[in-house]
Structure 1
Amino acid sequence: MEIVLPIILSGEFKKTTKDNEIALLETRLMTALGTNFYGEDIVKYAIHIICVHPKYDSFFKVNRPTYVINKDVIVEGIPVTIYKRFDVQLKLNFEEFYKSNEEEGFRIIGTAILSTLKNIVCPKTIKDFNKEAFYKDIHAFFCEKEN
């Protein structure tokens, strides 16, 4: 299963390396968990990370999880097929994340991901996905990073 971390960061983050740090975290997650099998129903698990200045908060609400079984879309003029993709969104505290160093940033993201995934309700169309095993592996990944 592929795990991706799409990001929405406000302009203030252009002065930081947060986008690179999140890309590194995504690579580490894929290395650690990408070969694990959790069921047939999810091929790509997207955890969207939103962190914007409070003045933009009202424009970036966290939506409920979405699941796409099979859909053809056009992205920047290129046809793309979305297949068995589950999308989850979470929002980070701007001040805390903006001021954090790389290690603290990983901890902040890890805490937010674990909190979000712990309480997630999968759509009824997802029948073959071991949510508990996935959560356990994500939890182990972030706990290992702290030690």
Structure 2
Amino acid sequence: MEIVLPKVLSGEFKKTTKTLEIAGLEKKLMSFVNSRFYGEDIAEYAIHIICVHPKYDSFFKVNRPTYVINKDVIVEGIPVTIYKRFDVKIKLDFEEFYKSNEEEGFRIIGTAILFTLKNIVYPKTIKDFNKEAFYKDIHAFFCEKEN
């Protein structure tokens, strides 16, 4: 299974290293999860990180998670097949994340991801996915990062 962290950050973050920090976290998380198996139903797990200035907040809603079993789409003129992809969104507090250093930023992201994973309701179409093992591994990853 692959895990990705697509991000939506408002323009203020161009003056920071947050984009690079999230990319680094994604790479570490990917290599951590890559060797593990949680079942056949999810091939790609996308956790969208949203952190925008409060004036743009209303444009970026956190909706219910989505699951796509198999769908062909066009991305920038290139045909792409989305296969067994689960998408969930988390929203970070703008002020807190913007002012954080790298370590605090990881803690903020980790706390938001763990809270979301603990409370998530998976669609009934996902039958073969060990959500408890996935949560425990992600929890271990972020606890390890803190030490």
TM-score grouping bracket, smaller chain normalisation: over 0.9
Q: Equivalents in 2 of 1:128, 1:38: separation in Å?
A: 8
* 2:90 partner letter: L
The SS at the match of 2:38 is coil
Q: Matches of residues 104-115 of structure 1 in structure 2 within 5 Å?
A: 104-115=104-115
Aligned to 1:78: 78
Q: Matches of residues 1-147 of structure 1 in structure 2 within 5 Å?
A: 1-147=1-147
Q: Equivalents in 2 of 1:33, 1:129: separation in Å?
A: 14
Alignment gaps of 5+ in structure 1: none
RMSD between aligned alpha carbons?
0.4
Identity %: 86
Could you give the per-residue CA deviations for residues 57-112 of structure 1, whole angstroms, max 9, x where no partner exists?
A: 00001011000000000000000000000000000000000000000000000000
* 2:3 partner letter: I
TM-score (norm 1): 0.99
Structure 1 stretches (4+) deviating beyond 3 angstroms? none
Equivalenced residue count is 147
TM-score (norm 2): 0.99
* 2:97 partner letter: F
* 1:127 partner letter: K
